[in-house]
Amino acid sequence: MKIRIGYELVYECPQPTPMVLMLNVHHSTAADIIMPDHITTDPTVPLSTYYDSFGNWCTRLVAPAGETRLAASGLVSDSGELDPVHPEAQQHLVQDLPPEVLMYLLGSRYCETDRLSETAWQMFGNGPTGWARVQAICDFVHEHIAFNYGHARATRTAFEAFQEQRGVCRDFAHLAITLCRCMNIPARYCTGYLGDIGVPPSADPMDFSAWFEAYLDGAWHTFDPRNHIRRIGRILIAQGRDAVDVPISNTFGPNTLKRFVVITDEVQEAEARSPVSAA
């Protein structure tokens, strides 16, 4: 299948404001890109790009005073298959983990392993290990947190989500990541597109989504405690320790986000050949 992706963001800045954007699909999806999601700006400003330390593609610009529109429209190919499941996947002993994944065992800005370690071991220490343990954590998080966009708070941590029992997709991911790390399973935060493909349409406006990956049997595996079902058309944008590493934008000065639109739609063959504006 083919999926149209894109966005339109409008920022208003009282003065020229440097920005770093993390909005392009991840380089690991390069083979699936049919039409690249190039960023356009109005007014036109110079753009420069780089890979960050996690391998995410970033764009730098200086937004002028006034309104700046950022937009993109791309087309990607997708297998149309559900998220894979590998119930046989086992977790590694910490001493056997490759060095590059060890950072995903440690606490981070939104994932306070020190505050949830004892709780995690009490809840999951005597149960199964490997895939089954991660699934048990996802089961708990899905039931423990009540989802509502009105509960969004940019500063909420995993421990606070555990206590408050409410939040949005990033809070589900942060809590599950933290509990996995407490159980010696490397886990990393992911953000990207996830449209209503193969599920009933949502009445809520489309947004970027958050999920996580756990490292088992020498590979990273996708888990989604918010939706808690296998999904079709998950398109990765960025990965990191938690949400602080993968914001859609870092703005270095005062600003107001005046418009936010995200597009993630399955398209038919004829429509796929016709470019569509992200407006």
Give the pLDDT of residue 270: 55
- Per-residue pLDDT of 245-262, as tens digits, reads 999 999 999 999 999 999
Give the pLDDT band of residue 201 (cuts 50, 70, 90): confident
Query: What is the C-alpha to C-alpha distance for residues 248 and 269, in angstroms, rounded to an integer?
Result: 30
* pLDDT surpasses 50 at 27: yes
Average pLDDT, the chain: 95
Cβ–Cβ under 8 Å, residues 45 and 63 = yes
Query: What is the C-alpha to C-alpha distance for residues 251 and 249, in angstroms, rounded to an integer?
Result: 6
The mean per-residue pLDDT over the stretch 65-86 comes to: 97
Three-point CA angle 167, 224, 98, nearest 5° = 115
Give the pLDDT of residue 273: 55
Give the pLDDT of residue 276: 45
Query: What is the C-alpha to C-alpha distance for residues 246 and 115, in angstroms, rounded to an integer?
Result: 23
243-267: string of b/e by CB count within 10 Å (b at 16+)?
bebbebbebeeebeeeeeebbbbbe
Cβ–Cβ under 8 Å, residues 158 and 110 = yes
* pLDDT surpasses 80 at 30: yes
Domains of the chain: 2-80+247-272 (2.60.40.2250), 94-232 (3.10.620.30)
* pLDDT surpasses 90 at 203: no
Which range has the worst mean pLDDT, 54-68, 200-214, 221-235? 200-214
Give the pLDDT of residue 204: 84
Give the pLDDT band of residue 274 (cuts 50, 70, 90): low
- Per-residue pLDDT of 109-149, as tens digits, reads 999 999 999 999 999 999 999 999 999 999 999 999 999 88
Which range has the worst mean pLDDT, 95-99, 184-188, 196-200? 196-200
